[in-house]
Structure 1
Amino acid sequence: MSNPTKVVSPTLVIIRGNSGSGKTTAAREARRRFGRGAALLEQDYLRRIILREHDSADIDPVAPAFITATARTALDLGYHVIVEGILHTQRYATVLHQLIGDHPGPAAVFYLDVSFDETVRRHLGRDEPIPVTPDEMRRWYTHRDLLDIPGETVIEETSTFEQTVTTILHASGLTTVVPQTPCPRRCPHCARKADQTTAATEVP
């Protein structure tokens, strides 16, 4: 009698840091390298575009609950999930701790620890800088705003882009897990692409 197939819970990855720390670019590249089967949830898009809500301590924001509920839904559907954003502990610590605590699978938390001056330099060097001033960035800046979770990985500003992405992929385990969602596992288009990749790497 064969053993039933073991269901493996997907991986949750949380990438945090101040504005201009490089977290968005690193998160996008990590997801690109993983491929289909990983969902990328960007705080700015969900809060600014979907909800059109200000990130303010003067209101009781909807975004923290909305972002973590979206992450939970994607995880339940079999997606590996990367959540990215400033995600200030003042407003997000409680819901992020709960999201991690409730998730039965592996979870990895990263914090890009970049000084204020370096965040401004990186911001001004973007191909398409977002319309914020250094003064606005200073008001948002919080020094080492860690979640204080066991195993939280702090990535220093001396880490190159390549080193940062590699650290995220390896420390989270995304380099070893496989997609669990239907498209990369079952769709004919993905199967053809996988066959083509295999054929291209075979030694004649």
Structure 2
Amino acid sequence: MLYVAHYGVMLAGLLADHPGRTHCFYLDVPFEETLLRHATKPIADEVDEAQLRSWYRPLDLLHGAVATVVPAAGSLSDTIDLVMRTAALTPRATPPAVR
């Protein structure tokens, strides 16, 4: 979504200017999977495959290896775990069951 060629300098500036911990994540979705996911969206009839292909940039990572690559094959739970571990966050406590 944020091409390095266009947004890289701005994103690098944000990272440099942020005083606390900062983490970047890149969801690595192959183009074929992108097409499948796009077909489920409300704009699927407005944006065709050719337009998606023109926007697609595989592994368009920021310079300096600052992003953690999130594999598309992982489950939602796997992705959440990866983000939580990488950012050293603790999960919210599960509220007790109502009896």
> Do they fold alike, i.e. is TM over 0.5?
yes
Higher relative contact order (CA 8 A, sep 6+): 2
1:87 and 2:10 aligned: no
> Could you tell me which amino acid in structure 1 is paired with residue 42 of structure 2?
P
Among 113, 130, 152, which residue is 2:28 paired with?
113
Q: Who is 1:139 aligned against?
A: 54
SS of residue paired to 1:117: helix
Cα distance change on mapping 1:90 and 1:151 into 2, 3 Å: closer
> Could you tell me which amino acid in structure 1 is paired with residue 74 of structure 2?
S
1:129 and 2:42 aligned: yes
Please state how far the C-alpha of 1:160 moved relative to its aligned partner.
1.8
Task: Please give the per-residue CA displacement for 1:1-30, whole angstroms capped at 9, x wherever unaligned.
Answer: xxxxxxxxxxxxxxxxxxxxxxxxxxxxxx
Same amino acid, percent of matched pairs = 35
Q: How many residues align?
A: 95
Cα distance change on mapping 1:172 and 1:129 into 2, 3 Å: farther
Give the Cα–Cα distance (whole angstroms) in 2 for the partners of residues 165 and 141 of structure 1.
24
Please state how far the C-alpha of 1:151 moved relative to its aligned partner.
4.2
Give the Cα–Cα distance (whole angstroms) in 1 for the partners of residues 48 and 85 of structure 2.
34
Please state how far the C-alpha of 1:170 moved relative to its aligned partner.
2.8
> Could you tell me which amino acid in structure 2 is paired with residue 122 of structure 1?
R
Cα distance change on mapping 1:134 and 1:175 into 2, 3 Å: farther
Among 97, 100, 119, which residue is 2:15 paired with?
100
Please state how far the C-alpha of 1:174 moved relative to its aligned partner.
3.6
Cα distance change on mapping 1:136 and 1:170 into 2, 3 Å: same
Larger Cα-atom Rg: 1
Q: Who is 2:87 aligned against?
A: 172
TM-score, scaled relative to structure 2 = 0.79
Please state how far the C-alpha of 1:88 moved relative to its aligned partner.
0.5
Q: Who is 1:19 aligned against?
A: none
Task: Please give the per-residue CA displacement for 1:64-113, whole angstroms capped at 9, x wherever unaligned.
Answer: xxxxxxxxxxxxxxxxxxxxxx1110111001101101111001111111
> Could you tell me which amino acid in structure 2 is paired with residue 102 of structure 1?
D
Q: For 1:180-195, what aligned pairs fall within 5 Å after superposition? A: none
What stretches of structure 1 of length at least 5 have no aligned partner? 1-85, 179-196
Q: Who is 1:157 aligned against?
A: 72
Larger proportion of helix: 1
The two structures, once aligned, show a CA RMSD in angstroms of 2.5
